[in-house]
Amino acid sequence: MVKYSPNAFVIIVSNPLDAMCYVAMKVGNISRHRIIGLSGVLDSARMRAFIAMELKVSMDDVHAMVMGLHGDSMVPLPRYSTISGISITEFMSREKIEKIIERTKNGGGEIVNLKTGSAYYAPGSAIVQMIESILKDKKRILPCAAYLDGEYGIKGVFMGVPLKLGIKGIEEIIQLKLTDDEMASLHKSADEGKKTISQIKL
């Protein structure tokens, strides 16, 4: 791909998502601004669906933010998850929010258990959002996997973080103000990613 389309943007979908992004970047010698992993958009869409179902509201009004690795150590952020701009903490108890967080973390497995093979509709929808934002220069803010080089105090690993996606690919990594607990969860997720990377011999 790099040989014939050296300036292409690359969206990685294969699992383990974050490690595959790292391999593609290193093997293809691709700029970190041109390689993006499908993670947060998919995980956030699942969280949005679970919030909408729980509160019986339109999913169109629900926005959710999920950061970290695409897997068990993902970091759903209720403070940055809203219904028409109002935090979900205003609508639900801590216990209900915790249940949605757990269901979000296990969302992929839940879908696989209901059908044969892997999920495809939600990933496909998420990929369309990412591609449209780049090709149409929409500059949408979407949570996707990007290579971190000091953002959030993390280096050397791909993680789901809010990105501005436009005609130049990753145009900005948005750094949210996280609480100490949220930051600790994000760094724990990063450590999991680094552990996987350490096992890859390039």
CATH code for the domain of 45: 3.90.110.10
**Is 1 inside any structural domain?**
yes
Average pLDDT taken over every residue of the chain: 91
The reported pLDDT for the residue numbered 106 is: 83
Q: Indicate if 70 belongs to the active site.
A: yes
The reported pLDDT for the residue numbered 67 is: 96
Residue 186 has pLDDT above 80, yes or no: yes
**Is 61 inside any structural domain?**
yes
Please give the average per-residue pLDDT across 36-43, as a whole number. 89
The reported pLDDT for the residue numbered 118 is: 55
Residue 39 has pLDDT above 90, yes or no: no
**Is 200 inside any structural domain?**
no
Residue 40's pLDDT band, with cuts at 50, 70 and 90, is confident
Please give the average per-residue pLDDT across 50-64, as a whole number. 95
**Is 90 inside any structural domain?**
yes
Q: How far apart, in whole angstroms, are the C-alpha atoms of residue 26 and residue 47?
A: 31
Residue 116 has pLDDT above 70, yes or no: no
Q: How far apart, in whole angstroms, are the C-alpha atoms of residue 152 and residue 172?
A: 13
Q: Give the bridge partners for 164, in sequence order.
A: 141, 172
The reported pLDDT for the residue numbered 107 is: 65
What is the tally of structural domains in the chain? 1
The active-site residue out of 33, 63, 70, 187 is 70
Residue 117's pLDDT band, with cuts at 50, 70 and 90, is low
Q: pTM of this prediction?
A: 0.88
**Is 198 inside any structural domain?**
no
Residue 92 has pLDDT above 70, yes or no: yes
Task: Please write the tens of the pLDDT for every residue from 149-180.
Answer: 999 999 999 999 999 999 999 999 999 999 99
Q: Give the residue numbers spanning the domain of 44.
A: 1-190
Please give the average per-residue pLDDT across 105-109, as a whole number. 68
Residue 121 has pLDDT above 80, yes or no: no
**Is 201 inside any structural domain?**
no
